[in-house]
Amino acid sequence: MKKLIFLLIFVLLACETADDVVREATIEVPPPTVVVSVPVTEVVSDPIYPDDPVRELTILYTNDEHGWMEGVREGLGAANLVGTWRNQFGYEPGLDSYLLLSGGDMWTGPAISTWFEGEGMVEVMNQMGYTAAAIGNHDFDFGLEALRARATEANFPFLSANTRRTSDGQVPTEWGIEPFVVVESNGVRVGIIGLTTTRTRTTTNPANIVDFEFIDYETAVREFLPEAQAQGAELFIVIGHLCEFEMRDLAARIPDLPVAIIGGGHCNELFAEEQDGAILLAGGSHMATFAGANLTFDTSTDELLSADYGTDYTDDRVTENEAVAAVVARWQAQTDEELEVVIGYTEAGFEQRSAEQQALITETWLWAMPTAVIALTNMGGFRADLRAGEITFGDVVGVFPFNNVLVSVELTGAQIVTLLTRSNEQLAVGGLGEVHGRWFLHKTGEVLEDDTTYTVLVNDFMYAGGSGFGRLAEWDPAGYNTAVDWRQPLIDWLVAQDSSPSETVDAAVGEWLER
């Protein structure tokens, strides 16, 4: 596995509360029956009613898990989620009257997931008993080799019917991507079709998907639903890394197709509604919330007789699934072993995307590479707070989880102002100040001149056109890839401060902001 190696200069070692409930209907779980059709970690037998064509299925849906197997706070992790499913819905891994589905973005988040390129998250989801997952834009973050490795390790398929090779328009199955899967659940053959956001090209590193395109959702569903039917599917579910407006648009376009459920993701939304004959489910994010649906299906007529659906996280979340908890604990121990080296201290901490956190990245770039005078980075890469107290390698990786490197470009003052005023995403800016609408350089005090060329540091995601920054490469086609990891200057700076619990880095960060 590719690992990031930090080269430290001075030492030898070198990305709503659960009390509120949104609920459209109550999910009642009937006595389940079992015909095991997907790999599971434990098979639990339950009654079989072979003569009854009416079957009950329960859908449990998450999305945008982003590697938060431990939970964004105590009681909201993967083990607690499975405990909640057991308490509320009778779920146990291995019962095939339940379908566990993900809308994608399974990793890229805290260090426990990011450092191992999602490997631990896949093992956790295996233990939880997931049936299938859509591929999200961030599932490409570690490159195609890593995606294929995770697909090989998973006991469930990674689905995307609209991801295509630009060379021939086919789904790139050689990278572990499948358009759909047909599984048997409680005697019902269920066709599950996956979709990936069409905005993936600008929301993961474009270098990871150079031969890929992401076609229209409706086109992909209409292409593969008949293939799933030909394989015997009776009930159809679409799981997609799609925002609510895209889910609604898709539902409005395919009312003639027998799609019972459209699942979403990408925008971290939490809802369960019906539109144009389809149930729309979105499970929130970070494994803190989920959506669900209980379906009653007649296998003799292929008719969906009833559907109760909603979102629910009212359980106290104190019950853990021990097997899942054990997997999480093992990965946390491995993370601690590799990343829990203390490199600094902060008294107050630095909130996600705060001015202080922005300065930590951009100003340390300029500190490490003094030939540059300006640093710009998209704030989509700032994924968490940097909490008060000790700062470790793992903290830095968790706050800034993407594996980007620095690129040095030569831009005119006019081009820089265009980026600052017209970018689609808010930028963190280092080396520049603004007074009465005019920008000036911190290093020299000089006013930014339209026709003067300046050395600017950006990340390779931006330079490759991510988040709509395609003009960077147009303006400077010869941008220099420094091969320096974007987190490395921050790590080196933290070590150089030689901070302690009594003398933290807060004051130094404050000085940057006072200029």
- For the chain, the domains span 54-331, 341-514
Closest to 237 measured CA to CA, from 173, 271, 198, 280: 280
Q: How far is residue 457 from each of residues 427, 447, 493, measured CA to CA in Å?
A: 13, 19, 17
> Does domain 54-331 sit in CATH 3.60.21.10?
yes
- Listed in sequence order, the residues at least 6 apart from 136 whose beta carbon sits closer than 8 Å to its beta carbon are 63, 64, 103, 104, 105, 106, 196, 197, 241, 265, 266
> Helix or strand or coil: residue 304?
strand
- Kindly indicate the confidence band of residue 186, based on its pLDDT and cuts at 50, 70 and 90: very high
As given in the structure block, the two tokens for residue 69 are: 């197997």
Distance (Å, whole) CA 171 – CA 194 = 11
As given in the structure block, the two tokens for residue 46 are: 């339950």
Torsion of CA 87, 293, 72, 120, to 10 degrees: 90
pLDDT for 314: 61
- Most confident region among 108-112, 347-351, 420-424 by mean pLDDT: 347-351
Rg for the chain, CA atoms, rounded? 24
Q: Which residue has the higher pLDDT, 229 or 317?
A: 229
Residue 42: CA atoms inside 13 Å, Cβ hemisphere, count? 10
| Residue appearing with tokens 């490759």 | 464
* Burial class (CB within 10 angstroms; exposed 0-12, middle 13-18, buried 19+) of 139: buried
Distance (Å, whole) CA 495 – CA 505 = 10
Q: What b-and-e string marks burial along 188-197, b requiring 16 or more CB atoms within 10 Å of the CB?
A: bbbbbbbbbb
pLDDT for 44: 37
Q: In this structure, which amino acid lies at residue 266?
A: H
Architecture of domain 341-514: Alpha-Beta Complex (3.90)
- Kindly indicate the confidence band of residue 12, based on its pLDDT and cuts at 50, 70 and 90: very low
Which residues are paired to 307 by β-bridges? 295
Cβ–Cβ under 8 Å, residues 82 and 128? yes
Q: Which residue has the higher pLDDT, 428 or 13?
A: 428
Of 49-58, 114-123, 443-452, minimum mean pLDDT range: 49-58
Q: Is the pLDDT assigned to residue 192 strictly greater than 60?
A: yes
Which residues are paired to 309 by β-bridges? 293
Which residues are paired to 177 by β-bridges? 158
As given in the structure block, the two tokens for residue 31 are: 């006595």
- Listed in sequence order, the residues at least 6 apart from 314 whose beta carbon sits closer than 8 Å to its beta carbon are 21, 88
pLDDT for 352: 95
Which residues are paired to 181 by β-bridges? 192
| Residue appearing with tokens 């027998």 | 258
Kindly state the average pLDDT of the residues 235-249.
Answer: 98
Instruction: Render pLDDT for 77-86 as a digit per residue (tens, 0 to 9).
Output: 999 999 999 9
pTM above 0.85, yes or no: no
Q: How far is residue 256 from each of residues 218, 233, 273, measured CA to CA in Å?
A: 12, 17, 19
Element (H, E) at 359: helix 355-368
Q: What b-and-e string marks burial along 461-478, b requiring 16 or more CB atoms within 10 Å of the CB?
A: bbbbbbbebbebbebbee
Distance (Å, whole) CA 485 – CA 406 = 6
Q: Is the pLDDT assigned to residue 13 strictly greater than 70?
A: no
CB neighbourhood size of 159 (10 A): 28
Kindly state the average pLDDT of the residues 486-511.
Answer: 95
% residues pLDDT > 70 (the chain): 89
Strand order, beta sheet including 480-485: 427-430, 374-378, 453-459, 405-412, 480-485
pLDDT for 11: 32
Q: What is the chain's mean pLDDT, rounded? A: 89
Kindly state the average pLDDT of the residues 259-278.
Answer: 97
Cα 160 to the center of its chain, rounded Å = 15
Closest to 214 measured CA to CA, from 237, 182, 192, 246: 246
Q: Is the pLDDT assigned to residue 158 strictly greater than 70?
A: yes
pLDDT for 482: 82
- Kindly indicate the confidence band of residue 443, based on its pLDDT and cuts at 50, 70 and 90: very high
% residues pLDDT > 90 (the chain): 76
Kindly state the average pLDDT of the residues 145-151.
Answer: 98
Instruction: Render pLDDT for 194-211 as a digit per residue (tens, 0 to 9).
Output: 999 999 988 888 889 999
CB neighbourhood size of 436 (10 A): 4
Length of the chain: 515
Q: Is the pLDDT assigned to residue 256 strictly greater than 70?
A: yes
Q: Which residue has the higher pLDDT, 505 or 37?
A: 505
Distance (Å, whole) CA 193 – CA 197 = 14
Q: Is the pLDDT assigned to residue 244 strictly greater than 70?
A: yes
| DSSP-assigned letter for residue 255 | T
Q: How far is residue 70 from each of residues 84, 320, 457, measured CA to CA in Å?
A: 15, 11, 34
Which residues are paired to 195 by β-bridges? 240
Which residue spans within 405-489 are E strands per DSSP? 405-412, 427-430, 432-435, 438-441, 453-459, 480-485
The terminus-to-terminus CA distance of the chain in angstroms comes to: 43
- Listed in sequence order, the residues at least 6 apart from 469 whose beta carbon sits closer than 8 Å to its beta carbon are 378, 419, 423, 458, 462, 463
